[in-house]
A = this chain, B = another copy of it.
Amino acid sequence: MPSYDPSTFPPFAVTVDLVVLTVRRHALCALVVRRGESPFQGRWALPGGFVRTDEDLGAAAARELVEETGLCAHDPAAPAVGNGAHLEQLATYGDPGRDPRMRVVSVAHLALAPDLPAPRAGGDANSARWAPVVDLLGPGGGFGRDGEQSEPLAFDHARILDDGVERARSKIEYSSLATAFCPPEFTVGELRRVYEAVWGVVLDPRNFHRKVTGTPGFLVPSGGTTTRQGGRPAQLFRAGAATVLNPPMLRPEV
């Protein structure tokens, strides 16, 4: 083990970047902000900022989340419902060349939020937006298709976003985290459309209904019904106490 001398450690800057995902109009969307400064001035980027001197990594991510969206981060142990978002650490990115100015290590976090009215970004309305991830990454995770896409994200944020999307896609398989995309009360159909948007597939409504209502602790009937989707009124549910789904939801083959 190398000698450990606190006075000669190589200096780093440490930031948190946020992959904030939501489902809007049947599409998985991510929160991006317009950069006002060089480098990558004018390009879209993930929200983020420096970790403060006496602040834990998770606290820094929660603070950034409030600043960007007004969402409160839930305790990770509690079910992610209500007007708070699920927040968890994603991965850390520290390539020496990822920021041209200096050595920056970014601890990326993943947040899952229900559909929100509109993002805010320090008062500047035009500097933040929800963008469909297919526009930001392309259908296969790369660029260069169709005409609807933005230019590439700043820094290595396309890779971070891709990792976050893949984390969300896999986590809703074996956890009840898909409810974090829903309002406090939701129908089975709304939950199914969340899975369809995140996975980019079409699911059989009957088998889906059997699966989610048959998994103990996943959904709890709230008593009410709604007709906001049209058709026959649907029963309303809240997220139950279960956090892991065993057996898991199976993502259909491509």
Contacts and interface: CB of A to CB of B under 8 A. Distances in A.
Interface of A: 1-2, 4, 6, 9-14, 33, 37, 47-57, 67-68, 89, 91-96, 101-103, 105, 107, 121-122
Give 9 nearest A-B pairs by CB, closest first: A9-B13, A57-B94, A92-B92, A12-B14, A10-B53, A2-B49, A6-B101, A6-B102, A11-B11
A68 B37 CA distance: 43
Given A57-B92, A105-B57, A122-B1, A52 B6 contact: no
Chain A binding surface, main DSSP class = loop
A109 B124 CA distance: 39
Given A1-B121, A102-B6, A51 B95 contact: no
Nearest to A88: B91
A4 B107 contact: no
A56 B122 contact: no
A95 B50 contact: no
A189 to B, nearest CB: 27
